Structure 1
Amino acid sequence: MARAYSIQKIYATNYETIQWGAEWKAAFGEPEDNGVWFIWGNSGNAKTRFLIELAKEISNSRKLFFNSLEQGNRLTMRNALIDAGVDASNKNFIIGNESFEEMGERLSKHKAPTACVIDTIQYCHGLRFQAFTEMVKAHPKVLFIINSQAVGKNPEGKIAEKIKYDADLKIWVEGFKAISNGRYNPGGEYTIWGEGEAKYWGTKPNNSTNEN
């Protein structure tokens, strides 16, 4: 039988949350530092730029593995890292191109990363939702950040839809800004590129963002 918790026990629990900058906190609140986050959006909206900026911010406080299934070690990936201002000396930010099984082996090693980005879930060919949930349960201290392609305003594919449904933090990227749709600070916004956002949405540019 599954364990039950009293209200007093829940209120007394100390939860470990992500420690990040004020701009990120204003947009996405203080989510737990484990579990699943889900990001989705259509091509041409600076989704990759946002994903790398997010990974960069998280790598300030913990080791992160960026599983670049879509771009790998291509020039486009290097350019994206440069655009996002990722420092070459950042040893907490590791990039690879591994199968889902290989990634699981990496996360099981001593001093393994405690944050993992999958870019994108559609490139995990043949992956079943059950296998994904088993991976998450096997690594309860790891934060999984899932990037997904979109069809219209919906994630592309059944597994992406299921992961989004269960995710704690859901982030929709459109018009050069990221919008919180999840359980933390719904409606919060993060500007990826102020000038592009202003042109897309017809607003004044937000100059507070990091435009490297």
Structure 2
Amino acid sequence: MSKKKSDRAYSVSNVITKKFYPLAFEGKFEASYGKPDKSFSAMFYGDSSNGKTEAAIQFAKYLTKFGKVDYNSLEQGLSATMRDAIERNNMEACENTFRLLDRMPFNKLIERFSKSKSADFLIVDSVQYLRITKAQYYQLKELMLEKKKGIVWISQASGKKPKGALADDIRFDVDIKNWVEGFKVFPDGRLNGGGEPFIVYPERAAKYWNEIV
């Protein structure tokens, strides 16, 4: 499946009057991530033990203010470490709007998000463990756009880039690109505002960055 193209031509007035649905982010989330459209795409990537999953869990919790969130935990699944992350971030507060998917494969994700009452946002942890092709990536992307739903990818890193050709392609394609290092998130891309570093763990971030100065 190739990337979907549109054969429609839009006039200037069509473009100007086109309605979008920016999420009303506030505070530190707006400062870092701006006000993304509801059907935004994003990626968090970085080396292990730098706070990627923690950053994604915190982002997921904030997204529950705007709709339901499915977090597909492919690397850790329903594990003690994932439970600890959920408890650490007080996810009990979003009991009815957050669901942990335990290593759900691609075909089941397509089936789940094709349903009318599926979640508003999907977080995939991680690109490498979902084991999909580029064509399958675009299939999921187009489904989420069609349903006006947001998608967030988490990726391992190789140096300063996502690990693997597909993950790097996704980084170029998504709206918001988030490099995670030393328990800080460094947002970039089509932010609609934002751009300030997001602190995942204040104490651990301070220790890490003070040590490398």
**Which residue identity lines up with residue 201 of structure 1 in the other structure?**
W
CA contact (8 A) 1:170 1:181 kept: yes
The yes-or-no answer on 1:121 pairing with 2:134 is no
Cα offset, 1:101, TM superposition: 0.8
In structure 1, runs of 5+ residues without a counterpart are: 204-212
> Which is helix-richer, 1 or 2?
2
**Which residue identity lines up with residue 7 of structure 2 in the other structure?**
A
Which residue, out of 76, 83, 96, partners 1:71?
76
**Which residue identity lines up with residue 91 of structure 1 in the other structure?**
N
Match of 2:200 in 1: 192
Q: Give the whole-Å Cα distance in 1 for the aligned partners of 2:58 and 2:77.
A: 17
Moved more, 69-78 or 190-199: 190-199
Match of 1:40 in 2: 45
Q: Give the whole-Å Cα distance in 2 for the aligned partners of 1:110 and 1:14.
A: 21
**Which residue identity lines up with residue 30 of structure 1 in the other structure?**
K
Q: How does 1:102-117 map to 2 (within 5 A)?
A: 102-117=108-123
Moved more, 91-100 or 193-202: 193-202
For residue 77 of structure 1, give the secondary structure of its aligned residue in structure 2.
helix
CA contact (8 A) 2:31 2:194 kept: no
Match of 1:101 in 2: 107
Q: TM-score, normalised by structure 2?
A: 0.89
Deviations 1:78-97 (A, max 9, x none): 00111122116521100112
Q: Give the whole-Å Cα distance in 1 for the aligned partners of 2:83 and 2:196.
A: 29
Q: How does 1:33-182 map to 2 (within 5 A)?
A: 33-87=38-92, 90-97=95-102, 98-125=104-131, 127-140=132-145, 141-182=148-189
Moved more, 20-29 or 87-96: 87-96
Question: Structure 1 residues 23, 88: CA separation in 2 closer, same or farther (over 3 Å shift)?
Answer: closer
For residue 208 of structure 2, give the secondary structure of its aligned residue in structure 1.
helix
Q: Give the whole-Å Cα distance in 1 for the aligned partners of 2:179 and 2:158.
A: 12
Match of 2:3 in 1: none
CA contact (8 A) 1:38 1:145 kept: yes
Match of 1:210 in 2: none
Q: TM-score, normalised by structure 1?
A: 0.89
In structure 2, runs of 5+ residues without a counterpart are: 1-5
CA contact (8 A) 1:20 1:58 kept: no
Q: Give the whole-Å Cα distance in 2 for the aligned partners of 1:129 and 1:23.
A: 34
**Which residue identity lines up with residue 5 of structure 1 in the other structure?**
Y
Deviations 1:179-203 (A, max 9, x none): 1121114742111111112122229
Question: Structure 1 residues 35, 29: CA separation in 2 closer, same or farther (over 3 Å shift)?
Answer: closer
**Which residue identity lines up with residue 56 of structure 1 in the other structure?**
K
For residue 139 of structure 1, give the secondary structure of its aligned residue in structure 2.
helix
Higher relative contact order (CA 8 A, sep 6+): 2
Q: Once the two structures are aligned, what percentage of the paired residues are identical?
A: 32
Cα offset, 1:122, TM superposition: 0.4
Match of 1:206 in 2: none
RMSD, aligned α-carbons: 1.7
